[in-house]
Structure 1
Amino acid sequence: MMCSKAEIELYLSSLGSKSIVRISRNCNQFSWAPGCQSGWACSAPDANSLANNSFENPVPSRSENCRPCCPGFFCPRGLTCMMPCPLGAYCPLGTLNKTTNLCDPYSYQITPGSNQTCGSADSWADVITTNDVFCPPGHHCPTTTQKFNCSKGSYCRKGSTGENKCGWKSRCKGNSEKENITLFGGILIVSSAIY
């Protein structure tokens, strides 16, 4: 279910556009496998199909054994394979929010009228343009499937894989996203005024 080089290139080439991944052999107007949905992926029929892709169509045929994307991976709409989430991301298995009909913590909707469930993340971009995938401020994610509160005396920015110790432990409450340096600023201003 892991993406081939051609599938990763197809996904990366679509990041600049506002549309879904460009049409692939598995997801187009004539064929739409269940793995084409956000948060889902499919297997290739066999290992030979991955090795025997033609130069004209390097994307393997994937329409078998479709299931939710595994935790720690992301599966974008229009691509039937999985890619690992980047370090600093938090990509748990999504859960269906009955109120919004969206998969939390992501924002995609499962196919109406089907028995499909939420998978893992459906998109990935840089830490500046997305909040859906990266570890939230005040938390640290040592792996892509673990999220912990930042402890007192430490701070954790968005996308943190570990805790950053504060200069003075009393300046960082639990779940701090940055060190409180108000006191340091005041000392700097006072010392500047004296000299």
Structure 2
Amino acid sequence: MKFIHRLVLNLLVCMLLALIRNQTNSLFTDEDDPILMSGFMPGCQCNGQDANCLVCNFNYSCIYGTYLNTTCTLLDQCDKKNSNTLIKEYQCSFCYQLPPHLYNCSTTTTCQLHSRYKALCTVPDDIICMGKRKFFKYVRCEFTSGYKWSTALLLSITLGGFGIDRFYLGNWQEGVGKLFSFGGLGIWTLIDVILIATGYLKPSDGSIYV
């Protein structure tokens, strides 16, 4: 009798675990993850130009960098039924292998200059490429805060003796030093002109010039 009770109990536990697993899998599917989606996306304009509405037959054995033509099926926005077939040109490359100017990556201002941070990159809808259209990539930390190199150089040449160039770049400690030393009797001013002209002296927040 005890054996039967244990057997029934084990069966109930197994059924309960299977039910929980099915419910969990239904909540976390690839279709719910925009990064894993490479085909149809809700709300896209199915006009033949939006790559998210196309399913293409790529030649994965092609030579990298070459341009090829492929047959793409245009999906209907409402019921996802095949509605049209198009011939599209694409470069033999996965999306993450495209030149940097062909995709957009998220930016940040919390990284250190010249370091690298993990960015989420997205390929525009009008570009056809193989693989996932959204991907993570480590990119160089370079952000702008509105500082202009020409303005900094002009201030250094004209008002550098009063430390205005240093104040403009956010280096107020050095600016105070230049102000009360009259630009280091001209020597400090000349050095700053050279540093700004060569791009060595940058804004204090680590950003690059516009």
Smaller-chain TM-score bracket: under 0.3
Going by fraction, where is strand more abundant, 1 or 2? 2
Higher relative contact order (CA 8 A, sep 6+): 1
TM-score by length of 1: 0.23
TM-score by length of 2: 0.22
Going by fraction, where is helix more abundant, 1 or 2? 2
Determine which structure has more spread, i.e. the larger CA radius of gyration.
2
